[in-house]
Amino acid sequence: MGTQASPENYTPPKDERTEREKAIDDWLPITSSRKAKWWYSAFHNVTAMVGAGVLTLPYAMSELGWGPGIAVMTLSWIITVYTLWQMVEMHEMIPGKRFDRYHELGQYAFGDKLGLWIIVPQQLVVEVSLNIVYMVTGGNSLKKFHDVICDGKCKDIKLTYFIMIFASVHFVLSQLPNFNSISGISLAAAVMSLSYSTIAWGASLDKGKAANVDYSLRASTTTGQVFGFLGGLGDIAFSYSGHNVVLEIQATIPSTPDKPSKKAMWKGVVVAYIVIAACYFPVAMVGYWAFGNSVDDNILITLNKPKWLIAMANMMVVVHVIGSYQVYAMPVFDMMETLLVKKMKFPPGLTLRLITRTVYVAFTMFVGITFPFFGGLIGFFGGLAFAPTTYFLPCIIWLIICKPRRFSLSWFTNWICIVLGVILMVLAPIGGLRQIIISAKTYKFYS
């Protein structure tokens, strides 16, 4: 479907960097280690993809209904497998060069300046917003764990304090230097995601269909149903966000002419997407089947019994979003440190890393504490930035770099993805923004 670097035409990249540039690249989190195995790709991708979004899928189904809900989820799974494959292929599509970061691929396709302006703002919105949402999710799950265990016998503690407790872990973990150093955390997170997803749909199945379950759309008015539908699209878009870190993950895998990194990376992606399907579809369908349009925007909140199982599932969510936060924070750390060291000439070292990463964690904690509109945040950001970077930007870059023949299967496939992705980007934030406005009416700051 496009030009690929084969062992015959492969030429080793000519290293024209100065000693200082080499030292900086060996220090930056994305390029400092290329020792990852294929299974690192599998659990990094699971950790990146299966996050807070999976718990909102029954809620998204209640906004979309059975038919559209299943159709949108299935279509999203297929499109995102395809666009992820494109990114894995394009990582080394130019002989002798590796696009270690999303913006580097964008710069090659669109030009140095335009590529930066197209990719970096969107990638930052995705990664930073995810980190903020994970702060809220981690705090919410800790609070739910506390409330379930205490069963009304303990003093009520504000959500704000639970978010601060969750953030305290990241003040420490954020000092780990690169992707490979968080591989253990990411593996634990991937296992937890599969575990709590299984608990979410298993407990729903065990509980059975609720009395007087209603599968009509959540809202009673036409306006509410339209906005709810748009919000549901955003919720589903949010659940497929791993593309924003895929090139950075692939950058950690070694590559030779005989064993290019795309082989190991794709092997891991296939495993990851099987796990993702095993998490997403049962949670969405069984959760919606059990509770209908009365399901909460976090399925674990709707489930109250058995208490020990729900408490355990919430703690699994905490462990998982700890890993997810780190996976999405690492490219942000890389961007910040690249800017400070390469452009602003700060000396690389422990002091710089300590200050920048601590400030970033504190920032995401503060925003999470101030605006914990969980469901609305997901819908809004899901459409605004996740749709372009996941659904159609890889297709645009593929058309520019690979130049498939007009009206060929590849050409049609990419244009269909682009059209659907643009529609999603325009429509989904509207529903999410409305949800934030509705939540804001009754919300008390720092509750």
Q: 163-205 pLDDT, tens per residue?
A: 999 999 999 999 998 888 888 999 999 899 888 888 888 888 8
Q: What is the 3-state secondary structure of 5-39? A: CCCCCCCCCCCCCCHHHHHHHHHCCCCCCCCCCHH
CA distances 127 to 122, 132, 233, 289, 332, Å, are: 9, 9, 19, 32, 7
Whether 286 and 208 have beta carbons less than 8 Å apart is answered as no
Q: Kindly tell me if the per-residue pLDDT of 215 is higher than 90.
A: no
Average the pLDDT over 95-120 and give the result.
89
- Average pLDDT of the chain is 83
Average the pLDDT over 114-119 and give the result.
90
Model confidence at 219, in pLDDT bands (50, 70, 90)?
Answer: confident
**Integer distance in angstroms from the first to the last C-alpha of the chain?**
54
Domain boundaries, the chain: 33-442
CA angle at 426 for the pair 280 and 383, rounded to the nearest 5°: 30
**What pLDDT, on a 0 to 100 scale, did the predictor assign at position 38?**
86
**Per-residue model confidence as pLDDT tens digits over 7-39:** 445 455 555 556 677 778 778 888 777 888 888
Q: What does the alpha-carbon distance between residue 405 and residue 279 come to, in Å, rounded to a whole number? A: 37
Q: Kindly tell me if the per-residue pLDDT of 355 is higher than 80.
A: yes
**Per-residue model confidence as pLDDT tens digits over 118-164:** 899 888 888 888 888 889 889 988 988 888 888 778 888 888 899 99
**What pLDDT, on a 0 to 100 scale, did the predictor assign at position 6?**
45
**Per-residue model confidence as pLDDT tens digits over 261-290:** 889 999 999 999 999 999 899 999 998 998
Give me 385's structure tokens: 């930035």
Q: What does the alpha-carbon distance between residue 320 and residue 333 come to, in Å, rounded to a whole number? A: 20
Which DSSP state fits 346? P
Model confidence at 377, in pLDDT bands (50, 70, 90)?
Answer: low
**What pLDDT, on a 0 to 100 scale, did the predictor assign at position 357?**
95
Q: Kindly tell me if the per-residue pLDDT of 442 is higher than 70.
A: no
- Assign a CATH topology to domain 33-442: Amino acid/polyamine transporter I (1.20.1740)
Whether 101 and 330 have beta carbons less than 8 Å apart is answered as no
13 or 435, higher pLDDT: 435
Highest mean pLDDT among 17-31, 57-71, 353-367: 353-367
**What pLDDT, on a 0 to 100 scale, did the predictor assign at position 302?**
75
**What pLDDT, on a 0 to 100 scale, did the predictor assign at position 169?**
95
Helix or strand (DSSP H, E) at 401? helix 393-402
Whether 383 and 234 have beta carbons less than 8 Å apart is answered as yes
Model confidence at 209, in pLDDT bands (50, 70, 90)?
Answer: confident
Model confidence at 65, in pLDDT bands (50, 70, 90)?
Answer: confident
Which DSSP state fits 182? G
**Per-residue model confidence as pLDDT tens digits over 71-97:** 989 998 999 999 999 999 999 888 878
CA distances 405 to 95, 393, 402, 411, Å, are: 22, 19, 9, 7
Residue among 109, 43, 108, 68 at smallest CA distance from 273: 43
Question: Prior bond to 12 cis, omega within 30?
Answer: no
Burial of 361-400, coded b for 16+ CB within 10 Å and e otherwise, reads beebbebbbebbbbbbbbbbbbbbbbbbbbbbbbbbbbbe
Q: What does the alpha-carbon distance between residue 284 and residue 287 come to, in Å, rounded to a whole number? A: 5
Average the pLDDT over 364-393 and give the result.
75
Whether 109 and 400 have beta carbons less than 8 Å apart is answered as yes
How big is the chain, counted in residues? 447
Q: Which residues contact 167 (CB under 8 A, 6 or more apart)?
A: 135, 361, 362, 364, 365, 368
Model pTM score: 0.86
Q: What does the alpha-carbon distance between residue 44 and residue 356 come to, in Å, rounded to a whole number? A: 24
Whether 125 and 284 have beta carbons less than 8 Å apart is answered as no
Whether 318 and 306 have beta carbons less than 8 Å apart is answered as no
Q: What does the alpha-carbon distance between residue 54 and residue 57 come to, in Å, rounded to a whole number? A: 5
CA angle at 400 for the pair 249 and 429, rounded to the nearest 5°: 65
Average the pLDDT over 53-63 and give the result.
84
The amino acid sitting at 337 is E
Q: Which of 141-155, 207-221, 310-324, 354-368 has the lowest mean pLDDT?
A: 207-221
**Residue found under tokens 């059990």:** 290
